[in-house]
Chains A and B, each alone.
Chain A
Amino acid sequence: EDQVTQSPEALRLQEGESSSLNCSYTVSGLRGLFWYRQDPGKGPEFLFTLYSAGEEKEKERLKATLTKKESFLHITAPKPEDSATYLCAVQEVPAGNNRKLIWGLGTSLAVNP
């Protein structure tokens, strides 16, 4: 069964303490992997798209990487404003017209000052 698993479920960091979030996936063929940030009471906000193994994308303190089986979201020297839930979604090479994304459950990140 195609699925996306994110770990850990929750992570608490001190300001400046770097760490990584994981998104592992099992699909027959990967079209793209997407990272989103979701603040409490808000809709998800798009961060990155990764298409092929070895690809990396960066934005401020965040860097996303991709292998054939998983993606990492590295957070360098996080600040309290980085606190949010980070969602991963995978789009598989479609067998039909269904273009749906397969979503993970997210990692809830809290950064303490």
Chain B
Amino acid sequence: NAGVTQTPKFQVLKTGQSMTLQCAQDMNHNSMYWYRQDPGMGLRLIYYSASEGTTDKGEVPNGYNVSRLNKREFSLRLESAAPSQTSVYFCASNFLTETGELFFGEGSRLTVL
């Protein structure tokens, strides 16, 4: 089982460019999440999708959009990247949003110049 797969693993963007981070899980999970992790800030929730067809904002949604393409896939889009979005992004999934047991991908390291 691959678990949670994120692409790309590394990306460098210039300010104002757009890009999409892709995430897919093969565990038949209902809920999927996008987090960012920054030194001194910990993990912060950007958006989550409790089930296919629904998405909700987390703590830091500004500057991002998401799409729950189907049950397996949840993408994160940066429409106009800013240096403040330089971070490591993690996708995670689980069966229900009510549980705190999450399965994480290996992360996507994004640098915005």
Q: Which residues of A contact B (CB under 8 A)?
A: 31-32, 34, 41-46, 49, 87, 89, 91, 97, 99-101, 103-106
- B4 on the A face (CB < 8 A): yes
Residue ranges of B at the interface with A (Cβ–Cβ < 8 Å): 4, 40-45, 48, 50, 56, 58-59, 90, 92, 97-107
Q: Using A100-B59, A104-B42 as known contacts, say yes or no to A43 and B4 having CB atoms under 8 A apart.
A: yes
Q: How far is B99's CA from A49's CA once the two chains are assembled, in angstroms?
A: 9
The answer to whether A105 and B40 touch across the interface, beta carbons within 8 angstroms, is yes
Chain A residue with the shortest CB-CB distance to B39:
A105
Total residue contacts A-B, CB cutoff 8 A: 53
Can you name 25 A-B residue pairings with CB atoms under 8 Å? A31-B100, A34-B101, A41-B106, A42-B107, A43-B92, A43-B105, A43-B106, A43-B107, A44-B102, A44-B104, A45-B104, A46-B102, A46-B103, A49-B100, A89-B43, A91-B100, A97-B56, A99-B97, A101-B45, A101-B100, A103-B42, A104-B42, A105-B40, A105-B41, A106-B42
Contacts of B4 in A (CB 8 A): 43
Closest Cβ neighbor of A33 among chain B residues = B100
How many whole Å from A42's CB to the nearest CB in chain B?
Answer: 6
Chain A residues lying within 8 Å of B90, measured Cβ to Cβ, are 43-44
Residues of B within 8 A of A87 (CB): 42-43
Assembly CA distance A43 to B2 (angstroms)? 14
* Across-interface contacts of B44 in A (CB, < 8 A): 103
Partner of B42 from A43, A100, A105 at Cβ < 8 Å = A105
Given contacts A41-B107, A42-B107, A103-B42, contact A49 B97 (CB under 8 A): no
Q: Which of A32, A43, A91, A97 contacts B104 (CB 8 A)?
A: A43
Q: Which residue of A lies closest to B9 (CB)?
A: A41
- With both beta carbons as reference points, the residue of chain A lying nearest to B90 in the complex is identified as A43
For B42, what are the chain A residues with a Cβ–Cβ distance below 8 Å? 87, 103-106
Closest Cβ of chain A to B91, distance in Å, is 8
What B residues does A49 contact at CB under 8 A? 99-101
